[in-house]
Chain A
Amino acid sequence: MFNPQLNDKGNLNHLLSIEGLSKEKIIQILDTAESFLKIGERDVKKVPILRGKTVCNVFFENSTRTRTTFEIAAKRLSADVINLNVATSSQSKGETILDTINNLIAMNADIFVVRHSSSGAAHFIASHVKPNIHIINAGDGNHSHPTQGLLDAFTIRKYKTNFNNLKVAIVGDILHSRVARSNIHALNILGVPEIRVIAPKTLLPYEVEKLGVHVFHDIDKGLKDVDVIMMLRVQNERMDGVMLPSQEEYFKTYGLNESRLNLAKKEAIVMHPGPMNRGVEIDSAVADSEQSVILPQVTFGIAVRMSVMAILAGQYS
């Protein structure tokens, strides 16, 4: 099958989605990230590997956290970084995505980190650029957010060592979540035997079981004996009464509080991709508890993004 992420040698040329990555490729990215994690602990948090390269963060949709971590990652690799908030510039003047990208290529950028509200935007750009330009998908519509999937896998491996005896629960708005999709694919590829999704019917995609997950509508049943709880952000724009009644009602039926956390295994970890809504999907006491690994996720995210950029930049077709 044609995989636009790989070059003719089978090496990773772009990172567009978790689907299509082999287990070996994912493990290589996680192992390399382990080395980069050490760089972040030093006084001099920088290595010269991407010296002279230019990384361009092109965000057609706002995201402060993802953009910032990509920016820190690129800078720690000694690349030059340009941040473009396209949402507020060229697009509003009527320029097409490809024209925007071609203009940036003319400025000799080497890696593009692309966030877009339309699913498939990063694929589209990757199929139109020259071989030595690398595209990283930083989130496209409801489709994929591969670096989040990788950093979540890295986080789980850090605390749980291996994947092949875990029960992982993903709780919240699965329907609109590219994070959930990327995580489901990553965990399946890595051999997690039981992935559960916990959500009301209105927030689950049609035939979600076909992704290889067990569906629960009752959070108390779904959290029983799990090793990992991944909470998703409830997007406020969904709280219009059609899909969800109210924030209070959601917290009552699907919010992660201490008594629900106690249903999971004693040493279970709690993850959240951020930004979290305290008192909506997660109780403050849980978010700040010893089982919460939400802040380490941010630290690991930088190492994983360094790993992806360094691996891509080392590929030549």
Chain B
Amino acid sequence: MTLPNAENLIESLKNKINTIIDSNTVLIGVQRGGELILQKILPDLKQHLATGSIDTSFYRDDFSSRGLKIKNKPSKIDTEIDGKNIILIDDIFSTGRTVRAAMNEIFDYGRPSKIILAVLVDRNEQELPITPQIYIEKISLPKNQHLELAFDQNKKFIFQLKENNV
């Protein structure tokens, strides 16, 4: 199948985010894809916002079967999040388990008044009562195919499909 153009999707996501931000907004990227998107759109947002990034390794629900594999940088939320409106940014939404882990971690930093989930692609694989408020495309893929954000040789964002070796 042809995969969507990632740069276009990021541009659309940026435009949607621009319509809902105000001075009370904090942007948090889920590592690694969400954090990359956040860094890409940040300079073009209509106002300067506090940001953070989250690596969900210590909050995942599959630790007992998967063990601990840390490939990302440590979570970093240096800004006060009590009473803030958080926009949680990720590249792909599939089961909702990563978002659950990210939300659990966010609540260890404080009590935001609202969390909105914004993603590029919703894979229609929801396993929990969690759903993105903002998505640019819905794509259904076979379960064993892993969709991820990557860079091409010109440093442009692209989507990549990989077979899961589970």
**Co-assembled chains A and B:** yes
- Using a CB-CB cutoff of 8 Å, which residues 20-56 of chain A contact chain B? 31-32, 34-35, 37-39, 42-44, 46-49
Give chain A interface residues in 264-317, CB to chain B under 8 Å. 310-311, 313-316
CB distance from B95 to the nearest CB of A (A): 18
B68 contacts A44, C-beta separation under 8 Å: no
Interface size class of A (residues with CB under 8 A): 20 to 34
The digit string for B58-82, where 1 denotes a CB below 8 A from any CB of A, is 1100011011101001111000000
CA separation between A49 and B101, bound complex, in Å? 11
A314 to B67, CA, bound (A): 4
Task: Output the residue of B63, B104, B109 with the most chain A CB within 10 A.
Answer: B63
* Bound-state Cα–Cα, A42 to B79, Å: 11
Is there contact, CB below 8 Å, between B108 and A46?
yes
Given contacts A42-B108, A49-B68, A310-B68, contact A34 B59 (CB under 8 A): no
Q: How many residues of B contact A (CB 8 A)?
A: 19
A-B contact count (CB 8 A): 48
Complex Cα gap A223–B57 (Å)? 42
Judge whether B91 is part of the interface by a CB distance below 8 angstroms.
no
Chain B 100-133 residues near chain A, CB threshold 8 A: 104-105, 108-110
Contact yes or no, B108 A44, CB < 8 A = yes
Which listed residue (B63, B68, B74) contacts A38, Cβ 8 A? B74
For B66, the chain A residues whose CB sits under 8 A away are 314
In the complex, A199 Cα to B108 Cα: how many Å?
A: 48
> In the complex, what residue of chain A is closest to B105 when comparing beta carbons?
A47
In angstroms, Cα B74 to Cα A31, docked, is 9
- B55 on interface, CB distance cutoff 8 Å: yes
How far apart sit A75 and B108, CA to CA, in the bound complex (Å)?
Answer: 15
In the bound assembly, the distance between CA atoms of A284 and B43 in angstroms comes to 51
Contacting pair B68 A42 (CB below 8 A): no
A35 contact set on B, CB distance < 8 A: 55, 57-58, 70, 73-75
Interface string of B6-21 (1 = CB under 8 A from A): 0000000000000000
Q: Among the interface residues A35, A310, A316, which one has the most CB atoms of the partner chain B within 10 A?
A: A35
Give the CA-CA distance A47 to B74 in the complex, in Å.
Answer: 13
Q: Which residues of B contact A310 (CB under 8 A)?
A: 58, 68
Residues in A neighbouring B64, C-beta threshold 8 A: 314
B58 lies within 8 A of A48 (CB): yes
> Are A315 and B67 interface neighbours, CB within 8 A?
yes
- Within the assembled complex, what's the spacing in Å between the Cα atoms of A32 and B68? 9
The answer for the CA separation of A278 and B121 in the assembled complex, in Å, is 62
Residues of B within 8 A of A316 (CB): 67
Residues of A within 8 A of B (CB): 11, 31-32, 34-35, 37-39, 42-44, 46-49, 310-311, 313-316
Interface residues of B (CB under 8 A from A): 55, 57-59, 63-64, 66-68, 70, 73-76, 104-105, 108-110
